[in-house]
Amino acid sequence: MDTIASIATAVGQGGIAVIRISGPEAKNVLSHVFTRKNTKCAMKSRMLTYGWAMDGRTRIDECMAVYMEAPHTYTTEDVAEIQCHGGRVTAQRVLDAVLRSGARLAQPGEFTKRAFLGGRIDLAQAESVMDLIGARTERAAQASLQQMGGYLSGRIHALQDALLDTIAYIEAYLDYPDEDIEPLTAERAAQQAAQVKKELEEALRNARAGRMLTGGVRIVLAGSPNTGKSSLLNCLLREQRAIVTAMAGTTRDVLREELNLNGLPVQLIDTAGLRTADDEVERIGIDRAREEVDRADVVLMVVDSARSLDEEERALLRREGIPLVIALNKKDLDAVTSQEELHLLAPGAAIVRTCAVTGDGVDTLRQALYDTALRGTSPEEAYLTSERHIEAARESVKALQSALGALESATMDCAALDLRAAWEALGTITGQNATEDVVDRIFQKFCLGK
């Protein structure tokens, strides 16, 4: 292993910047670049020391530095960190001096990759580091922290252990067929495999909620023109202007806004932006709007209570299988469309009466959106958080399904193969048997200095 270095703090102006060095030469590199004020006592591991970062004989900055001896460090290697003043110039000059003293520039995620290769954390824990850095709400941060602590890995190991037991049981039968233990083995193996499958399926259901925690909920705003969609959108966004980023896409694109719904990160997609006067463009727009509705976690449909429903609205209300929240807007005006009428058309939908002019009912609407997004799931129990984990769990379930079929017809050798496949699929989550390119792909997504 060579020695790597990088600026670990965000680029730009700030109080301090941290330059991190890791590898066998870390201490050596530090002693080249950093001069202690008090040279009488030796530099101790894990003790912050005051001094200067030097470029040869020139002082670059007044700094604090620490050296941490392997193996109990972030990377499991010798690590040194220099804290200098923030800002673009100084940190870069210190890094340049470090790079001239025997370290090379670290690739994105390389520090964490070394922690993985050094066996301190597994792949799922490494991924959670990135999730924590990217977390947009407290809940998402909390979920990442739990994963970093090894919760996900613990659950996966338990399921793998159960599968290994079953595999061992079947292999014993295959090795000693004369023992006449077949019926009992097949039945017991099937029970164990079914139990693992059940747990994974539940985990996959909760994963939907988990994905919302980290990736955000997609709420699609739908409804006819002039029902009050823009006004209501403004109401939903108003109280949290500070964290809202409006991203109007290209002219024909869908308008997306981000908001925080009681701790859930939300992407609100306004399909209204798709309508224009041009027929051809409008047709494309309507197709896109329909696609957005299909992909939505929740559809928020705004209905104008002061007029009757049109055909398009009725069609959307009748569509099954979409989690629907209806804002029956303009409640301050005389009602033409009633809650009962909507309920008959869309029995599963939550209906909230609102007035977008005064903001009346908007809090209830927010709660209804939250409840509908998380209905039937336990986000607290979601431990499969990334697309990669979900894919691996699905693959494992598929293999288990096939194993159960084989056990039913007592083709034990096939069952053993399927169970192994199920076990291996789970192993890719923790990295136990992830291929090198999967590992590389994960760390490439990291930011520099982590």
For residues 152 and 301, which CB has a smaller minimum distance to ligand GDP in the complex?
Answer: 301
CB of 230 to ligand GDP, least distance (A): 3
Torsion of CA 245, 248, 250, 251, to 10 degrees: -170
**Which of these, 207, 119, 122, 150, lies nearest to 438 by C-alpha position?**
122
For residues 85 and 331, which CB has a smaller minimum distance to ligand GDP in the complex?
Answer: 331
At position 310, the amino acid (one-letter code) is: D
- For residue 424, state whether it binds ligand GDP (rule: CB under 6 A): no
Spatial contact of 98 and 78, defined as CB atoms under 8 Å apart:
no
| R_g over Cα of the chain | 29
Residue 189's CB: how many other CB atoms inside 10 A? 24
For residues 325 and 425, which CB has a smaller minimum distance to ligand GDP in the complex?
Answer: 325
**Which of these, 163, 122, 113, lies nearest to 428 by C-alpha position?**
122
For residues 333 and 344, which CB has a smaller minimum distance to ligand GDP in the complex?
Answer: 333
Q: Please identify, among the stretches 351-359, 368-376, 384-392, 404-412, the one whose residues bind ligand GDP according to the rule CB under 6 A.
A: 351-359
Spatial contact of 21 and 102, defined as CB atoms under 8 Å apart:
no
CB of 226 to ligand GDP, least distance (A): 4
- Using CB atoms within 10 Å of the CB of residue 131, give its burial: 0 to 12 exposed, 13 to 18 middle, 19+ buried: buried
Spatial contact of 427 and 434, defined as CB atoms under 8 Å apart:
yes
> What is the C-alpha separation between 132 and 126, in angstroms, rounded?
10
For residue 290, the surrounding DSSP H or E stretch is: helix 279-295
Q: x-or-dash pattern for ligand GDP, window 141-180, by CB under 6 A? A: ----------------------------------------
CB of 433 to ligand GDP, least distance (A): 52
CB of 228 to ligand GDP, least distance (A): 3
Query: Which tokens sit at 372?
Result: 């509908």
For residues 223 and 449, which CB has a smaller minimum distance to ligand GDP in the complex?
Answer: 223
CB of 306 to ligand GDP, least distance (A): 7
For residues 275 and 314, which CB has a smaller minimum distance to ligand GDP in the complex?
Answer: 275
For residues 228 and 265, which CB has a smaller minimum distance to ligand GDP in the complex?
Answer: 228
CB of 409 to ligand GDP, least distance (A): 59
Q: Please identify, among the stretches 112-120, 145-153, 327-335, 365-373, the one whose residues bind ligand GDP according to the rule CB under 6 A.
A: 327-335
Tell which one of 53, 356, 365, 373 touches ligand GDP (CB under 6 A): 356
Tell which one of 186, 355, 412, 426 touches ligand GDP (CB under 6 A): 355
For residue 325, the surrounding DSSP H or E stretch is: strand 324-329
Q: Where are the beta strands (DSSP E) in 348-434?
A: 350-353
- For residue 353, state whether it binds ligand GDP (rule: CB under 6 A): no
- For residue 329, state whether it binds ligand GDP (rule: CB under 6 A): yes
> What is the C-alpha separation between 231 and 233, in angstroms, rounded?
5
For residues 188 and 256, which CB has a smaller minimum distance to ligand GDP in the complex?
Answer: 256
Tell which one of 171, 201, 239, 332 touches ligand GDP (CB under 6 A): 332
- In the bound complex, which residue of the shown chain has the CB atom lying closest to ligand GDP? 228
The number of residues that bind ligand GDP (CB under 6 A) is 15
Q: x-or-dash pattern for ligand GDP, window 208-247, by CB under 6 A? A: -----------------xxxxxxx----------------
Tell which one of 11, 105, 145, 357 touches ligand GDP (CB under 6 A): 357
For 103-163, the three-class secondary structure string (H helix, E strand, C coil) is CEECCCCHHHHHHHHCCCCCHHHHHHHHHHHHCCCHHHHHHHHHHHCCHHHHHHHHHHHHH
- For residue 271, state whether it binds ligand GDP (rule: CB under 6 A): no
Spatial contact of 300 and 327, defined as CB atoms under 8 Å apart:
yes
Q: Please identify, among the stretches 67-75, 313-321, 352-360, 421-429, the one whose residues bind ligand GDP according to the rule CB under 6 A.
A: 352-360
For residues 265 and 361, which CB has a smaller minimum distance to ligand GDP in the complex?
Answer: 361
> What is the C-alpha separation between 417 and 158, in angstroms, rounded?
20
Q: Is the peptide bond before 379 cis (omega within 30 degrees of 0)?
A: no
Residue 443's CB: how many other CB atoms inside 10 A? 21
For residues 284 and 357, which CB has a smaller minimum distance to ligand GDP in the complex?
Answer: 357
Spatial contact of 190 and 170, defined as CB atoms under 8 Å apart:
no
For residues 230 and 402, which CB has a smaller minimum distance to ligand GDP in the complex?
Answer: 230
| Residue 43 per-residue DSSP state | P
Tell which one of 186, 212, 272, 300 touches ligand GDP (CB under 6 A): 272
Spatial contact of 119 and 90, defined as CB atoms under 8 Å apart:
no
Residues that bind ligand GDP in the complex, under the rule CB under 6 A = 225-231, 272, 329-330, 332-333, 355-357
